[in-house]
Amino acid sequence: MTDVLLRIEALSKRFGGVLASDAISLEVPAGELHAIIGPNGAGKTTLIGQLAGEIAPDGGRIEFAKADITRLPAWRRSRLGLARSFQITSLFPDFSALDNVALAVQAHAGHSFRFWRDARSEPGLREPARAALARLAIAERADMLVSRLSHGEQRQLELAVALATRPRMLLLDEPMAGMGPDESARMVATLRELKGELTILLIEHDMEAVFALADRITVLVYGRIIASGAPEAIRADEKVREAYLGEQEAGNA
């Protein structure tokens, strides 16, 4: 039995009349790649928002690495090793790609009340940042402004920033959104490589990618978990087919 890294207990969140999280309980063991799927509006991003500390839940509990983080602010969760990527690319557009990653390195290299030395010439920040870019195969874009990178490159950079915080667990919100088939394939390869080192919670619409990568899959519909298990079990689940996959396959046909 492996250690549980992330434990969610009866997490609830209501927006007006909409129950975005309806008593969600979930355990993600260390080292697992756990995918969360569900139709639009199922509350997937809301769930990530609560895990990352941007949205306060109305009830329930979140435990990460055996510590209760339900009330911790986002930056503290990041310090504990919980990193998120955003569904809509969320970088610093007026910084270079390297600056973006270096800032993430800086966030985990002691306090930033350092007022004099040029941060852009600190090898301790630049080198790990370059390594993270190289890992995502965008090293040659290091000095480009983010606003001039292609969409796919920005998605790669988004992941590089998350990795630069040296997390234990990644919360990935649709990392392949808007990507072409080639870019998606590269992202799948990257995630497969990361899978051994990190625990990953993945939200993704690309079913091919999800079934190729996930150890376990949880299906969320209207804020409620309707099924959770191994990919084969999910594929065979009647309720899931009804609520989600059937509709998806019909749409793809």
Partner 1 sequence: MNHLFMPRNAVVVVLLLLLAALPLYASLAGNPFLVTLFTRILILAMAATSLNFILGYGGMVSFGHAVYLGIGGYAVGILAFEGVASGFVQWPLAIIACALFALVVGALSLRTRGVYFIMITLAFAQLIYYFGVGLDRYGADDGLSIRQRSAFAGPIDLSNRTQFYYLCLLLLIATIYVTWHLVNSRFGMVLQGSRSNDRRMRAIGFPTFRYRLTGFVIAGAICGLAGALLANHTGFISPATMHWTRSGDLIVMVVLGGMASSFGPLFGAVVLLTLEEALPLAIRTLATPLFGDVAVRMGEYWQILLGPLFLLVVLFARGGIDGLLAGSRRD
Query: Contact 81/166 with Cβ under 8 angstroms?
Result: yes
Cβ-based nearer residue to partner 1, 25 or 112: 112
Q: Which of 125, 213, 143, 135 is nearest to 176 (CA)?
A: 213
Question: Is 84 near partner 1 (CB under 8 A)?
Answer: yes
Cβ-based nearer residue to partner 1, 84 or 141: 84
Cβ-based nearer residue to partner 1, 93 or 246: 93
Smallest distance, Å, CB 167 to partner 1?
A: 10
Beta bridge partners of 201: 34, 171
Alpha helices in 140-216, H assignment, sequence order? 151-164, 181-195, 207-213
Question: Is 71 near partner 1 (CB under 8 A)?
Answer: no
Query: For partner 1, which stretch binds (CB under 8 A), given 3-11, 50-58, 227-235, 240-248?
Result: 50-58
Smallest distance, Å, CB 45 to partner 1?
A: 13
Beta bridge partners of 24: 11
Count Cα neighbours of 62 within 13 Å in the Cβ-side half-sphere.
24
Among 9, 60, 63, 95, binds partner 1 (CB under 8 A): 95
The one-letter amino acid at 161: V
Question: Is 211 near partner 1 (CB under 8 A)?
Answer: no
Q: Which residue has the tokens 């009340």?
A: 113
Question: Is 123 near partner 1 (CB under 8 A)?
Answer: no
Give the torsion through C-alpha atoms of 229, 231, 233, 234, to 10 deg. Answer: 80
Question: Is 217 near partner 1 (CB under 8 A)?
Answer: no
Smallest distance, Å, CB 139 to partner 1?
A: 19
Helix 151-164 with 97-107: angle, nearest 10 deg: 20
Question: Is 131 near partner 1 (CB under 8 A)?
Answer: no
Site for partner 1 in 139-158 (CB under 8 A): 145, 147
Site for partner 1 in 97-116 (CB under 8 A): 99, 102-104, 106-108, 112-116
Cα separation of 202 and 22, whole Å? 19
Smallest distance, Å, CB 203 to partner 1?
A: 15
Q: Residue 81 corresponds to which tokens in the numbers above?
A: 């090793």
Query: Contact 194/170 with Cβ under 8 angstroms?
Result: yes
The one-letter amino acid at 190: T
Q: Is 20 helix (H, G, I), strand (E, B) or coil?
A: strand
Cα separation of 209 and 204, whole Å? 8
Question: Is 14 near partner 1 (CB under 8 A)?
Answer: no
Site for partner 1 in 173-192 (CB under 8 A): none
Smallest distance, Å, CB 15 to partner 1?
A: 18
Residues making contact with partner 1 (CB under 8 A): 52-54, 73-76, 78-79, 83-84, 86, 90-95, 99, 102-104, 106-108, 112-120, 122, 125, 145, 147, 161-162, 164-165
